[in-house]
Amino acid sequence: MKTTNLGKAGPVVSTIGLGCMGMSGMYGPADRAESIATIHAALDAGITLLDTGDFYGMGHNEMLISEALKDRRREDVVLSVKFGALRGPDGVWSGYDSRPAAIRNFLAYSLQRLGTDHIDIYRPSRLDPAVPIEETMGALADLVKAGYIRHIGLSEVGSETIRRAAAVHPIVDLQIEYSLISRGIEDDILPTCRALGIPVTAYGVLSRGLISGHWRKGAANGGDFRAFSPRFQDGNVDTNLALVEALRRVADEKGATVAQLAIAWVAAQGVDIVPLVGARRRDRLAEALGAQKIVLSAADLAAIEAALPRDAAAGERYPVAMLAHMDSEKRT
């Protein structure tokens, strides 16, 4: 497993990370034992970066990770945690809170659930419009000084917010969706990150399974986020699956799976981009790891672009109500 530095002062991490959200019900029921076995398999394969959020399963995901790591060396793992999303007992989302007092509260609970005395990368999950980013960053900087967190990251914010945050404290990475069918960051956000020396940890590299080559129309149930995601809806899903089949033809010629080609494409966009794969089963993890063996030539990249051009996907990446909370989606 190759490694890379997240920024000049950031941690050394594997060049592929494991996103653990799907192990806590966001995509329907998950098998606890298989989830833990998948985390173990990832660590055994050399993956060091584990990504979670304190609101994934209302703390379930952090406790799952804690259980998986109880017999592992803490120093071998880089824990990346998002905070700030508010949910009710019915699971309904109700905004974001990045006030300093709230941050300290969120962190205290995460440290307890994870069974650790520090978090390696701590980040607000979204921009809280009621709190200046400088105030949030100041509170996080104090927690770095206190030793409770090692580094500060950002998630789904736009260029202006990135620049303002970086002026307060070094940012080790921006976590944001980036895939063959979600390429909006290429216009402004990615150039801003590169100008500031901030790497990207890319989630959604398979667009929640849509471009994995395994998704079948109608597979999402009521407890699955994809049941409400625009790109999986009637009127959009057929268009998007046709794009996947075009990508499959390129993958077949390359001797790869669709998922491997999609992950390799993200990795090929720069050494400062670390794909996060959301595997929650060992077989899917093994497939994703195979992407690291794929070297894409200029001809390969052109063929991929022809099969799945930018902006060819039908539907937005999130429902409109959720996009309204995303600073990264604001257009100036």
Give the residue numbers marked as catalytic: 56
Element (H or E) spanning 270, and its range?
none
Phi-psi region for residue 168, left (φ > 0), alpha (ψ -120 to 50) or beta? Answer: alpha
- Reference 153, options 53, 267, 76; nearest CA is 53
Cα-Cα-Cα-Cα torsion 35, 39, 42, 48, nearest 10 degrees, comes to 150
Cα-Cα-Cα-Cα torsion 171, 83, 96, 139, nearest 10 degrees, comes to -50
Cα-Cα-Cα-Cα torsion 255, 258, 264, 265, nearest 10 degrees, comes to 120
Residue 201 sits at φ, ψ, to 5 deg, of -100, 115
Cα separation, 84 vs 82, in Å, equals 7
| Exposure of 152 in the CB half-sphere (CA atoms within 13 A) | 23
The answer to whether the CB of 247 falls within 8 A of the CB of 259 is: no
The answer to whether the CB of 65 falls within 8 A of the CB of 52 is: yes
Phi-psi region for residue 134, left (φ > 0), alpha (ψ -120 to 50) or beta? Answer: alpha
